[in-house]
Amino acid sequence: MRKLLLILLLMITTSCSAPPASPPLRITVQALWPTYGAMYVAQEKGLFAKHGVSVTLAHALDYMQSINPYKKGQADVTLAMLTDVILLNAEGVPSRLVYAVDYSDSGDMIIAAPPINHLKDLKGKKVSVDGFHTYSHLMVLRLLKASGINEGEFEMVSITEPAKVLAALEAGEIQAGHMYGLSVNKALEKGYKMIGKAGDVPHLMIEGLTVKTEIIETRPREVQGIVNALSEAMEFLQQSPDEGLEIIAQQVNLTKAELEVTFNRVHRLTLAENQEIFKAGGTLFRGGQEIIDFFYQQGMLVKIPDLNQVIDTRFVAATAKHP
């Protein structure tokens, strides 16, 4: 009888014990892009905890260093451009964009060497892009086409580091190139000129919170918590940029002044703008379709993906604006 009571007690204790806690969601962050750094603001201000989600942040010094761990299964969440969210899905890494943080305005530029002053002057010239079959490739093609120069009417060169673009300009190896980040300042200081910018094709340059589809399906409440926290952090950055950039600067070993350069060259998207662009037929879907058409023509896609499986609208729709 005593043995039976002991067994019953053990069964009751086991059935009442709490289920094991889910592990923190792993997020990779490109540390040098200040709007991505909003993740550090969310962490410092306790916004993840406020919204009931546990995360770990791992920062990388460049964009691909943040994307590659995500591709390899070492992270659940990252921040990426819409172009790359589409390519991730094509590469067998099912992912969805759930919240947009910005689009590059003059954060990405085409910088030219004298005496070139306009995009239309690049016919027959050498122009570098940040890798073939990338957002950079697409941006440069669209900007030049708008100036009357079609693909094939200029020579495209792949240079994947902004500092090397400046070196190539100085050596006369190219006449113009796509640059971004702190290297742009050095180029401008040396007398090179901006002749084109990403803000002229903003629908192609949107980037934001990107989550593995499996995580969305199995842990949607936590994904919503991250979206809510990020939305609040972006609002904090907008209202208190000095404090927000100081928080980020402490994480990435840069000064606030250095971060401000990029911060002021991107258009930071508000929650209200997110609610607008995530609508069916909105900017995200129009830009996404143009990106898909480009990648398909370039042979990067075997089949046309369903944008409804790439852009997930439910989290923005459910996000309330928090004080």
Is residue 162 situated within a structural domain? yes
- Same structural domain, 301 and 219: yes
Q: Which of 213, 205, 225, 215 is nearest to 277 (CA)?
A: 205
> 95 with 112, same domain?
no
CATH number reported for the structural domain that contains residue 194 in this entry: 3.40.190.10
Query: Is the same domain home to 148 and 172?
Result: yes
Model confidence pLDDT, tens digit, residues 163-180:
899 999 999 999 999 998
Query: Domain boundary residue among 171, 201, 231?
Result: 201
Task: Indicate whether 18 belongs to any domain.
Answer: no
The Cα 244–Cα 235 span in angstroms is 10
Residues 172 and 233 in one domain: no
Total count of residues recorded for the chain = 323
Give yes or no for residue 142 having a pLDDT over 50: yes
DSSP H or E run through 26: strand 25-30
How far, in Å, CA of 96 to CA of 7, rounded?
48
DSSP 8-state code for residue 305: -
Is residue 14 assigned to a domain?
Answer: no
Q: Say how far apart CA 236 and CA 130 lie, in whole Å.
A: 32
**CA 234 to centroid of chain Cα atoms:** 14
97 plus 207 within the same structural domain: yes
Which of 164, 185, 201 is the last residue before a domain boundary?
201
Other Cβ atoms within 10 Å of 2 Cβ, number: 6
* Cβ partners under 8 Å of residue 21, min gap 6: 54
Amino acid at 7: I
CA–CA gap between residue 181 and residue 81 (Å, rounded):
16
Model confidence pLDDT, tens digit, residues 5-62: 444 444 444 444 444 578 999 999 987 788 999 999 999 999 999 999 999 999 887 7
Q: Is the whole-model pTM more than 0.75?
A: yes
**Closest by CA position to 30, among listed 259, 309, 229, 238:** 259
Tens of pLDDT, residue by residue over 68-109, are 999 999 999 999 999 999 999 999 999 999 999 999 999 899
- The domain of 229 spans 25-105+203-318
End of a domain among 201, 218, 251?
Answer: 201
Q: How many domains does the chain have?
A: 2
For residues 221 and 196, membership in a common domain is answered with: no
The helix/strand/coil state of 79 is strand
Whether the Cβ atoms of residue 242 and residue 256 lie closer than 8 Å to each other: yes
User: Which of 7-11, 288-292, 302-306 has the least mean pLDDT?
Assistant: 7-11
Alpha helix positions (H), the chain: 2-16, 38-44, 47-50, 63-71, 82-90, 135-146, 162-171, 182-189, 213-218, 220-239, 241-252, 256-263, 271-277, 283-297, 314-318
pLDDT digits (tens, 9 = 90+) for 226-278: 999 999 999 999 999 999 999 999 988 889 998 998 899 999 999 999 999 99
